[in-house]
Amino acid sequence: MHQRLLPEGVDRRPAWLTVKLPGGDGYTQIKGLMRGLDLVTVCEEARCPNIAECWGHGTATFMILGEVCTRACAFCAVTSGKRGGDVDADEPRRVGAAVAQMGLAHAVVTSVDRDDLPDFGAALFADTIGEIRRQSPGTTIEVLTPDFNGSIESLRIVMAAAPEIFNHNLETIARLYARVRPKAGYQQSLTLLLEAKRLEPRSRTKSGLMVGLGEEMSEVKQLLVDLRAHDVEIVTIGQYLRPSLKHHRLTRFWTPDEFAELKHFGMTLGFSHVESGPLVRSSYHAHEQAVAASAV
């Protein structure tokens, strides 16, 4: 595939990447709720382009374990540092309260990487699952976790709480890992996903990736083959949008037809659901994905 490099600092977004500015009653209500409960959303931290749509419909992705990530992936807008700060033991209760107040049918919980913690943050994920179930019975739960530095013991803590969906993003193809995710490992992430399914077969496994970092169509298709070979059932594919000039370069915009081709290819591999489009992010239409994969 021909890669047309964009000039440094230029972001000529095509029409299909036009998004609505945040606003409206639903957006304002959720923003107020999050601030009142002293909670953080990845919607804001990662500058998600779908924040207006999702918040307007009363959905959000909660980010636990602080706002400072102990890694500095080349694509990510979240603040990074060597330490992520103290763990807030009351945070799971507040997330549960927010889910209950929002009346969510499906809740998504993610976190920054916490390589500075002995369990890499696994216990707080489990506690948060427990609090959502206690305060909002009937809400299904999706966790989007870091790789726990490859720790199966940490993974075991999370899977013992049996989330309906376990999500861990590969983000990009194997060839680009050293540059895009220098502290992570392609095979390590695949192994984590496979082990999650082995530890709790009732949970659906999910992963996501971005395009526009310099990959070829054939490499993305190989990534999808690898995910299915590791028993992943749901996949999301979206366009990388460069947060700033210090982040990894945007090589090109993939077209809607190319996203459609990836969706078709993924479904032929046997995924339960493939969400593929320019504005797709890991938690975009998360409840619909869960329904499509029969997780709810």
Q: Binding site for [4Fe-4S] cluster: residue ranges?
A: 43, 48, 54, 69, 73, 76, 283
Report residue 258 CA to chain centroid gap.
21
Phi, psi of 96 (to 5 degrees): -60, -40
Burial of 153 (0-12, 13-18, 19+ CB in 10 A): exposed
Q: Which residue type sits at 212? A: G
Burial class (CB in 10 A: 0-12, 13-18, 19+), 273: buried
- The strand pairing partners of 69, in sequence order, are 80
Number of H helices, E strands in the chain: 11, 8
The structure tokens listed for 195 are 């082990």
- Residue 224 has phi, psi (to 5 degrees) of -65, -40
| Residue list, annotated binding site | 43, 48, 54, 69, 73, 76, 283
β-pairing verdict for 165-167 and 204-211: parallel
Q: Are 117 and 153 in contact (CB under 8 A)?
A: no
- The answer to whether 181 and 149 are in contact (CB under 8 A) is no
> Strand, helix or coil at 141?
strand
* DSSP assignments along 197-219, one per residue: HHH-TTSEEEEEEEE-SS--HHH
**H-helix or E-strand spanning residue 237:** strand 234-239
Q: Within 10 A of 265 (CB to CB), how many other CB atoms are there?
A: 17
- How many other β-carbons are positioned within 10 Å of the β-carbon of residue 218? 10
